[in-house]
Structure 1
Amino acid sequence: MALNLRSTVVAYLRDHAEQKFTARQIAEWIFATYPDECQAKKESSKYVGTDAELVQQLVAEIGAQRVPLQKKFPTLKTTEGRPRKYYYSEKSDSAEVTAAESTGLAQTTEASKPKIGEHSLYPLVSTYLWEEFEVYSKRIDDKRSSNKRGPNGNRWLYPDLVGMEDLGAEWHHEVKNCVKQYSDKRTKLWSFEVKLLINRSNVRECFFQAVSNSSWSNFGYLVAAEIEGQDTQKELRMLFAAHGIGLIKLDVENPSESQVLIPAKERVEIDWDTANRLATENRDFLEYVKLVKQFYQTGEARLADWDVPKEAG
């Protein structure tokens, strides 16, 4: 019997609802579950000669059929970024966001693996920022704010993480001293809004939250552990063109493999008025400003003062 790839993929995902699989994981399952059909497919192909080539062919065919499959089966969904994952869910987009935020995000298909909450993403982002960009990062806890303006007075004001990039880390000490006297262009200041899940239901809210709380910085980024739906990333690229906020897809299992999907546009100047409000009303942000000032005074940043991975020292 010939292998009906479409129905096989849909049936497998439906039987494992809410679990996410890469195309390769699905292809390997098909190869193990339908050996006779796979052997017949291999023998009928002019281009496939080995089992490994057949699995790769299945991976390619699953990817090629993604769009028509999703049009026919709206409950078949995918994440964005690499590697793309496929899953079956009857939840609405908004219900998926609510579920992710209330119970944490499942990282693998293995039931034994724990789920994580948004706060667990922060050290992973810090690890990625240090290893990829050598950015010194610091957590900003909005609960440490004065909240003088009422319940929603500080809404969308504070980013989850802030960062400092030492542009002269490898400069000669004489050049450093010269720049210190000449200007204050030794650093770039970064801002990050971190989310467990971004999909069509919350994409604009998440993006404009990042726009709002990153307005003071040189670089503003939205960071997501999961991005679901092709239209979601299209929307983010359209919004980026207007506002310049970048997008990072965080790999929670291996932060070093995270990806900058959309680079942020640089703002040349820091908005010190906004930075002053943040520092006045939040102790964490005030500590961040003190660390930046200390860097300018001493020319050095101590790893122990920042949320930099311990192994970096």
Structure 2
Amino acid sequence: MELLKSQPGSRFTARQIAEWIAARYPAAVQAKLEKSSAVNSHAEVMNQIVAEIGASRPNWERQVPQLRTTEGIRPRQFYWTEKSEEQEVHDAERTPSRKELSTQFESGDGTGGSEVDVDVQLEVSEAELYPILIEFMEGEYPFKGVRIDERRSSNAYGRGGNRWLFPDVVGMEDLTRGLDSEVKLAVRESRDRRIRLWSFEVKLLVNRSNARETYFQAVSNSSWANFGYLVASRIEGSDTIKELRILYAMHGIGLILLNVEDPAESQILIPSRERLDIEWSMCSRLAAENRDFKSFMRRVRQFFQTGDMQES
């Protein structure tokens, strides 16, 4: 707690915390080594401290509300904050992009007085996550991803009519990629499945305060697709993934943790449960309401006609 409280917001693994303890309190660590019959070296006592930090985490989180931990990321990270979980979500959603902050700094409009101040604030915006997600998915599957901008909707149903209607990103997966050309033609003539459609709801942060809301938003806007996912760049709170797994059991929406620095290291933490049939009537409504989704459906049609996922 001494370490975390002294550097609020900074994230540390259990190993980093143990190393800090050893450097800060070497006599105590040496005494622990001498008293223990189970460890015989400094490396072993360090491993024991790391294990004890992990085992103590649930009790610490109950006793100290300022202590938070990340979920899904391995190794788990610990940090200190005075913000409520609701405030963390609010602040994450209001975070300006790196491009915006750089523009403010260059024009003299930023609140920070130096380049260092600006660098401290550099965070990823939700919009910057969309291409990262697409890059990850296209690296994992024969997949083509497309951004759906809800601002390009007609709002024919009036104010609030499109709430939780459109996903952030959609994609189609070519089930025939890699097959012999004659086999592809055979699949086409057989009318067997050649494509799967994916839907993604993207968030900067999912924690206990917004886990259910964001999950049901993903449930709502992916009802048409074969696969639906909630995607986040940060998952925090010791019970968050547990709650999402309970909801998954009922609704089948999967969970992806994005690695912003290295998209290829992103993880599908909970695989989506596949729906065998596409809900074409819902696709029709989305296409009628939104130009991006209509363009996506045009690509789907072209794929069925030509076998090519690229837009022509």
Identify the match of residue 134 of structure 1 among 139, 142, 148.
Answer: 142
Contact 1:104/1:118 (8 A) holds in 2: no
Residue 102 of structure 1 is aligned with which of 94, 100, 107?
Answer: 94
Q: CA deviation at 1:54?
A: 3.8
The aligned residue for residue 288 of structure 2 is 280
What residue is the counterpart of 1:164 in the other structure?
Answer: 172
Q: Which residue is equivalent to 1:64?
A: 55
- Post-superposition Cα deviations, 1:179-201, rounded to whole Å, max 9, x if no partner, equal 11111511110000000111121
Alpha-carbon distance in structure 2 between the residues aligned to 1:124 and 1:50: 43
Q: 1:146 aligns with which of 129, 154, 173?
A: 154
- Structure 2 partner of 1:214: 222
Name stretches of at least 5 consecutive residues in structure 2 with no aligned partner: 99-118
2:87 is aligned with what amino acid? A
Which one is further off, 39-48 or 239-248? 39-48
Q: Which whole-Å CA distance do the structure 2 matches of 1:132 and 1:39 have between them?
A: 47
Q: Which amino acid aligns with 1:132?
A: E
Q: How does 1:259-274 map to 2 (within 5 A)?
A: 259-274=267-282
Q: Look up the equivalent residue of 1:35 and give its one-letter code.
A: P
Shift of 1:113: 7.2
Number of the residue aligned with 1:197: 205
For 1:38-117, list aligned pairs within 5 A: 38-83=29-74, 84-103=76-95, 112=120, 114-117=122-125
Aligned-pair CA distance for 1:51: 4.3
Evaluate the alpha carbon distance shift between residue 294 and residue 52 of structure 1 in structure 2; reply closer, same or farther with a 3 A threshold: farther
What residue identity is the alignment partner of 2:5?
A: R
CA RMSD of aligned residues (A): 2.1
Task: Give the letter aligned to residue 36 of structure 1.
Answer: A
User: C-alpha displacement at 1:161, in angstroms?
Assistant: 0.4
Which letter does structure 1 place at the counterpart of 2:305?
Answer: Q
The separation in 2 between residues aligned to 1:203 and 1:169, in whole angstroms, is: 36
- After superposition, what is the alpha-carbon deviation per residue over 1:87-124, rounded to whole angstroms, capped at 9, x for unaligned? 11222221111011112699xxxx64721111111111
Counterpart in the other structure of 2:6: 15
In the alignment, structure 1 segments of 5+ residues that lack a partner are 1-9, 307-313
- Residue type of the partner of 2:23? A
Percent of aligned pairs with the same amino acid:
53
The number of aligned residues is 291
TM-score by length of 2: 0.87
> Which residue number corresponds to residue 244 of structure 2?
236
Mapped to 2, the partners of 1:103 and 1:38 lie a distance apart of 41
